[in-house]
Structure 1
Amino acid sequence: MEVKEGLEPASPRAQYFNSSVLSVFIMGVMETEVPITINDARTMSLLKDVFLPINPRFSSIMVKDRKGEKQWKRIEVKLEEHVNIPIFPTDLSPTSYDEYLEEYISKIAMEQFSQNKPLWEIHIVKYPTSNAAGTIIFKLHNALGDGYSLMGALLSCLQRADNPSLPLTFPSRQQSEIKSYRGSVYRRVSEHFSLIFNSLSDFGWSMLKSTLIEDDRSPIRSGDEGVECRPTMVASMIFSLDRIKHIKAKLGVTKNDVITGIIFLGTRLCMQEISYKSSESQSTALVLLNTRMMTGYKSIEEMLKPNSKGPWGNRSTFLHVPMPKFKDHRSSNPLEFVWTASKIIKKKKSSLGFYLTGRLLEIVKKLRGPEAAARFMHRTMRNSSMMISHVIGPEEKVALDNHPIKSLYFLGGGLPQNLLITIVSYMGNLRVSAIIEKGFLDAQKFKSCMENAFEIILKAADEIPI
C-alpha cells in the first residue's frame, strides 16, 4: 500500500475490527516448563530487538486522516506501558493459582485497548499452576492482522528447544484436489452452473443469516446484547493428532472435518443434557477460513513481500455451517456428525459465497463507511451460536529465550457470542479451548461432553472394517 505523509492506510478489516461496534483481539498463551526468570531489562530487550521489528504496526497507532479514513501512524513505543506482571498472593498451591490465572485472563479479556498506544500488550505470570511453571500471554488486537499473521508473528519469536539453529516445522496440509475440466462440453457447463448456483445460494443464505434470521436461543446462545463485555471462563481439552488422523483415514475426510464433527457432536450432547428440546434448535457455527491457500506458515520476511500469496494482514473469512441435529439422522451413528460437517464445508469451500460477502462489505464501506460495515459483521456474529477458529502450530517443542514451552493455545475476545472454540496443534496434539461466558454455560460440563464426543467418534471409526 502507498504510504502518504508518513501514514499507511489501514485495511478495511482492520477498520471493522477496531470500531465503535467491534474491538476484536486474540490472546496467545504460552505455558512454560521452567519458572520464568526473564528480568525487566531482558524483557525490554527482547521486545525491542525481536518483537517490534516483526511489523511496523506493532509501533503504530490508528488515526484518521483529513478525509476521515483510518491510517496507521508510526510512533515512539514506550515498552514499559505494554508489559504487565501481575502480583498474586505468595506461597499458594498450584491449583489455587489456577483460579487466580483464570480470573486474570477473564479480567484482561474485558479490558479495552487504549487508542493512544500500539494495540498489543504482554502479560508475564510468574506463578506456577497445575499445568505450567509460568505463563506468558500476548494480547494482540485483530486490527494488527488476522490469526494467521499474529500467530505467525508470535512463532517467529520462538526457537526449537532441541536446536535453535533449525527452522520450525509444521504439519503438512493436503492441497485441494485440482478439478479436471476434461470431458464433454455438457460436463463443463454443468460444473460451471453448479459453481454459480452454490455461490448465489451461499451468498443469499449468508445475507439472511447476517440480517434477518437469528439462531434459536439455546444453552449455547442467549441472544443478549453486550455478551462480548462479560466475564468468561476457559475449558481446555487435548486430543491426540495421531488419533484424529486415524479417524480421518477411516472416514475418508479431512482433519478439519473430524475436528468440526467432534465439536458439533460434543456441543449437541451438552445442549441436550441441559435441555432436551435444544437438540432440535437451529444453531449455526461460523467457521473461520483463511484465504491464503498455503501449506504452512511462511517466514515473516516472506509474508511481508508485496507479491507474496500470504502477505501480512487480514485475509480470513467465515463460513456459515449449520450444526447437525440429532433428529436429522435416522440412525444414532455419531459419525454422521463428521460426514455432515465434511459435506457442508466442502460444498461451501467450492463456492464463491465468501468472496461475494467480502465484496458486499467493501460496497457497504464505500457507501456508508467502515462503521456500517462493522455493524454488519457484528450482526453476523451475534446471529450465530458459536465461532470456530483453527491455526497450525509447530511439530517440535519450542522455547522463548531458553524457556521451553510445555503447551500453547490461543483465545479470542470481543466477539458478541457466548461460545468461541479455538484450536491449535503443537507437538502432535490438538489443544481445543472453549471460551465460555461465565455463569451462562458450565465449562466443566462442556469439556466433559467434548471429550465424550471424541471417544464416541473414535470408537465408531474403529468399528469400520479396513
Structure 2
Amino acid sequence: MDYPKEIGGLRWRKTSSLKPINVGEANARKERGEEEEEELLSPAARLFHEPNFNVYIIAILGCKTRIDPDLVRAKLPHTLLKHPRFSSLQVPVEGGKEEKQLKWVPSAVNLDNHVIVPPEIDQSTFAGDADAGKKFVEDYISDLTKTKIDGSKQPLWDLHLLNVRTSEPDAEAVGVFRIHHSLGDGVSLTSLLLACTRQIADPDALPTIPTPRKKKEEGLLAGRGRNGGVLGRGFWRAVVAVWTAAVLMWNTAVDVAAFLLTAIWVEDTKTPLKGPHGVEFLPRRFVWKSMSLDDFKLVKNAMNATINDVALGATQAGLSRYLNRKYVNAGGSENDGEQNNSLPAGSIRLRSTLLVNVRPGPGIQAMADMMEKDTEVKWGNWIGFILLPFTIGIRDDPLDYVRQAKAVVDRKKRSLEALFTFSIAEFVLKLFGTRRSNALSHRIITRTTLCFTNLVGPLEEIGYYGHPLAFLAPSSFNQPHGLMINFQSCVDKMTVVLSVDESTIPDPHQLCDDIVHSLELIKNAVISSHGLSQS
C-alpha cells in the first residue's frame, strides 16, 4: 500500500518501535490451525470494486487534545477489530465464475500497516498562520485519495493520526479514517465508529443519538374523531389510510419513472458544478466548516421544519449564490453576484443522488454489544437511490429556500422510491451481473450533479479512546460526482463537508463559505420576520 511520503516539504516514516499485533478471535483460531468458513462478498460489496465505482469513505475526527498513538493501538483490538470485516482480507475465488468473485478471509492484522503516524511534523512550521495547519491536513487527505489499499494483502481500512493544530476551535489534532465502501454502508460504518466512543461525562456510557419523533394524527382524522365517536373515527381512519396509500403509490410511480428516464436520457444542466466524464478517477480535496447547531434549530422551530430541511435549504441557497457568481464572472462583470440575478434564462435542472440504506442500519448499542459480547449484527450494503431536485435561483426572501426544500423532502417521504430503485438495481444485478448493475448505477449518478447527505450525531460531548472530539466530518471519494456535500451534527455543532474535484470546483472554500453565509442570511431572516431574539 502506498501512502503520501511528503507534504509541504515535510517527510515522514513509520515509527520502528511499533510492533505487529495479532488481534481478534478469528486470528486466534487461525493460529490454532482451526478452519474458518469463508464468506463470499455480497454483489453490492463487489460493485464497489468496479474500476469506476471504487469508493472509499473518509471520516475526519477533530480532537481537542493531542492523540496518543499507543493508546489508540491498544484500544483497536478490543473494539473496531472485533468486527470481522476489519480483520479480513478480500481474496479472489479460485475457479470462480467468469465474473470476478471475492471472499472474506480472516487474517492476522498488522497494526503497523493500519495506524499511520507522521512523526516529523514540526508545529513551529504553522506558527503565526491559523490556517496553515488545516491546509496541511487538507493536503494530506487529498494525497490519500491518490492511493488505494490492496485488499488481498490487508483489510481495507487505515487510520492516520495527525497531531496538527487546525483553525477549527479547540481542534488540537485530527484522526482520519479511510474505509473502503465494500466493508459497509455509510450509516452502519458511522454507527460502528460512534460505538467506539464514550461520553466524556460518563466514560462507561455510549453516545445518545436523537431519533425522529412520530407526529400525532392531525387535521381531518383528529377533528372527525372528536365528534364522530368510535364508528366515525374508524370511518375517517379508513379514508385517511386509503388516501395515504394512493398518494404513496402515485409518488412512487412518478419517482420510479424519473429514475428510468434518467437512466435512458434525462441529464442535469451543464453547470460549473457538474463534473466531467471520468471524474471518479481524479483526486479529491476535502474542505469543512462548523456552524452552530442552535442556528439550525432556531430556523427549524420557527418554520415548523426539520434540521434536514434547513440544511438542504442552506445548501440550495449556497449553490445558487456560488453559481450566480460564476455566471457573473463569465460575463466579465465586476459584481460579485450577491444582488443581481445572472443565472441563465430558464430553469436549471440540478439534482442530487441521495443513497439510502433501505434496511435499517444497526444502532450504536447493537455495535457496542457486537464488540463487547461477540453478538451478531445485520451488515452490508443495501442501498437505494433517491433523486433529489435542487431549486437554483436568486430569491428575495432567503426563507424561500427552506420552504422549497421542505416541500420537496415532505413529498419524498411519501414515496417508496428508495425501495423500488434498490429492487431495480438488485434485479439487474442478479439477472445480468455486477458489470451491468454497475453500468446502471454509474449512468444514473453521472446524469445528476452532486451527492448530498445529512447524518445525525451524538447529543453529548464524546471521546474517541479518551480523546475528546471537537468535530466529526464524514465524506467519501472516487464517486462519479465532482461534488459531494455532507452535513454531520455533533453535540452543539453542525459541520458541512465538501468533497470536490478541483478541476471542476477550483475554489471549494468559497463554495463552503457560501453555504455557511446562506445559513446566516436564513437565520437573520427568521429573526427579523418572527421578531425573535438573537440570544
Q: Which amino acid aligns with 2:354?
A: V
- CA distance in structure 1 between the partners assigned to 2:421 and 2:64 by the alignment: 44
- CA distance in structure 2 between the partners assigned to 1:249 and 1:278 by the alignment: 34
- CA distance in structure 2 between the partners assigned to 1:21 and 1:227 by the alignment: 9
Displacement, 1:463? 3.4
Per the alignment, residue 433 of structure 2 pairs with 369
Change (3 A) 1:176 1:365: farther
Per the alignment, residue 393 of structure 1 pairs with 457
Per the alignment, residue 524 of structure 2 pairs with 459
Per the alignment, residue 124 of structure 1 pairs with 161
With 225-234 and 146-155 compared, the bigger mean Cα shift is at 225-234
Displacement, 1:201? 0.8
Per the alignment, residue 381 of structure 2 pairs with 314
With 30-39 and 267-276 compared, the bigger mean Cα shift is at 30-39
Q: What is the aligned counterpart of 1:244 among 273, 296, 303? A: 296
Per the alignment, residue 299 of structure 1 pairs with 366
Per the alignment, residue 52 of structure 2 pairs with 21
- CA distance in structure 2 between the partners assigned to 1:182 and 1:296 by the alignment: 38
Can you list the C-alpha shifts for 1:109-159, whole angstroms capped at 9, x where unaligned? Answer: 232221212111111112333332221111111111111111111112222
Q: Which amino acid aligns with 2:281?
A: C
Change (3 A) 1:87 1:196: same
Per the alignment, residue 111 of structure 2 pairs with 79
Displacement, 1:188? 4.7
TM-score by length of 1: 0.89
- CA distance in structure 2 between the partners assigned to 1:404 and 1:286 by the alignment: 33
- Classify the secondary structure of the residue corresponding to 2:285: strand
Q: Indicate whether 1:195 and 2:227 are aligned.
A: no
Q: Which amino acid aligns with 2:271?
A: S
Q: What is the aligned counterpart of 2:75 among 46, 52, 58? A: 46
Bigger relative contact order, structure 1 or 2, given CA contacts below 8 A and separation 6+?
1
- Classify the secondary structure of the residue corresponding to 1:410: strand
Per the alignment, residue 137 of structure 1 pairs with 176
- CA distance in structure 2 between the partners assigned to 1:21 and 1:439 by the alignment: 18
Displacement, 1:35? 2.0
Displacement, 1:178? 7.0
Q: What is the aligned counterpart of 1:59 among 69, 87, 97? A: 87
**Structure 2: stretches of 5+ with no match in the other structure:** 1-34, 222-233, 328-341
Displacement, 1:170? 2.1
Displacement, 1:295? 11
Q: What is the aligned counterpart of 1:107 among 120, 134, 143? A: 143
Per the alignment, residue 189 of structure 2 pairs with 150
Displacement, 1:185? 6.3
Change (3 A) 1:258 1:52: same
* Equivalent residues of 2:458, 2:490 under 8 A apart: yes
Per the alignment, residue 260 of structure 1 pairs with 312
Displacement, 1:226? 2.0
* Equivalent residues of 1:236, 1:431 under 8 A apart: yes
Q: Indicate whether 1:221 and 2:274 are aligned.
A: yes
- Classify the secondary structure of the residue corresponding to 2:387: strand
Displacement, 1:439? 4.2
With 276-285 and 119-128 compared, the bigger mean Cα shift is at 276-285
Displacement, 1:436? 1.8
Change (3 A) 1:191 1:44: closer
* Equivalent residues of 2:358, 2:382 under 8 A apart: yes
Instruction: List aligned pairs for 1:434-445, cutoff 5 A.
Output: 434-441=498-505, 442-445=507-510
Change (3 A) 1:172 1:193: closer
Larger Rg: 2
- CA distance in structure 1 between the partners assigned to 2:317 and 2:53 by the alignment: 30
Can you list the C-alpha shifts for 1:290-348, whole angstroms capped at 9, x where unaligned? Answer: 4456896443156799999x833224433211111327xxx622222212222222222
Q: Indicate whether 1:431 and 2:431 are aligned.
A: no
Q: What is the aligned counterpart of 1:204 among 246, 257, 262? A: 257
- CA distance in structure 2 between the partners assigned to 1:266 and 1:182 by the alignment: 47
Q: Which amino acid aligns with 1:246?
A: L
Displacement, 1:184? 7.7
Change (3 A) 1:23 1:396: same
TM-score by length of 2: 0.78
- Classify the secondary structure of the residue corresponding to 2:213: coil
- CA distance in structure 2 between the partners assigned to 1:450 and 1:19 by the alignment: 33
- CA distance in structure 2 between the partners assigned to 1:326 and 1:128 by the alignment: 38
* Equivalent residues of 1:172, 1:296 under 8 A apart: no
- Classify the secondary structure of the residue corresponding to 1:71: strand
Q: Which amino acid aligns with 2:257?
A: G
- CA distance in structure 2 between the partners assigned to 1:56 and 1:129 by the alignment: 34
Change (3 A) 1:182 1:432: farther
**RMSD value over aligned CA atoms?**
2.8
Q: Indicate whether 1:412 and 2:476 are aligned.
A: yes
Q: Which amino acid aligns with 2:90?
A: M
Q: Indicate whether 1:342 and 2:394 are aligned.
A: no
Displacement, 1:364? 0.8
* Equivalent residues of 2:282, 2:478 under 8 A apart: no
Q: How many pairs align?
A: 455
Q: Indicate whether 1:32 and 2:71 are aligned.
A: no
**Structure 1: stretches of 5+ with no match in the other structure:** none
- Classify the secondary structure of the residue corresponding to 2:81: helix
- CA distance in structure 2 between the partners assigned to 1:317 and 1:248 by the alignment: 27
With 349-358 and 8-17 compared, the bigger mean Cα shift is at 8-17
Change (3 A) 1:293 1:366: closer
Can you list the C-alpha shifts for 1:336-373, whole angstroms capped at 9, x where unaligned? Answer: 22122222222222112221111111111112111221
Q: What is the aligned counterpart of 2:354 among 287, 309, 315? A: 287
Q: Indicate whether 1:326 and 2:387 are aligned.
A: no
Can you list the C-alpha shifts for 1:48-102, whole angstroms capped at 9, x where unaligned? Answer: 222200x111111234445434432222222222222235553311543332221
- CA distance in structure 2 between the partners assigned to 1:316 and 1:366 by the alignment: 15
Identity %: 25
Q: What is the aligned counterpart of 2:323 among 248, 267, 271? A: 271
Change (3 A) 1:78 1:294: closer
Can you list the C-alpha shifts for 1:172-204, whole angstroms capped at 9, x where unaligned? Answer: 422366797852866654433322221111001
